[in-house]
Structure 1
Amino acid sequence: MCAKCKNLEERIESARHIADRVPDQSMIDTYQRLISALEAEKVTLHPPQCDGG
């Protein structure tokens, strides 16, 4: 895992940790959007490889 992906993964885990403990649904939704954006950024850095099948 490259350094940028490692940093993104740490941020994703942190956001998940917080989202699991926040009682407010609007905050949970906000953290879920953040997590989705960070995961998309990871995919942009390293697109999934096609196995040709």
Structure 2
Amino acid sequence: MRTKPKLVIVPSAHNFSDEAFDQLIAYAAQGGTVLYTGPLRLNAGLETFGETFR
């Protein structure tokens, strides 16, 4: 039997696809813990990290 991890650590989440990001959000909604280190997303067209509304 495979068990789910208690904690998922996500470095550089801004490189994740939308599908991967949604899977982590679903995991957290089911009681899992996700620790993001660094920015979650980059604004398209900007060369520096900017504010985004999520």
* TM-score tier after normalising by the smaller chain length: 0.3 to 0.5
Question: TM-score scaled to structure 2, two decimals?
Answer: 0.35
TM-score (norm 1): 0.36
Q: Identify, as 1 or 2, the structure richer in strand.
A: 2
* Structure (1 or 2) with the greater helix fraction: 1
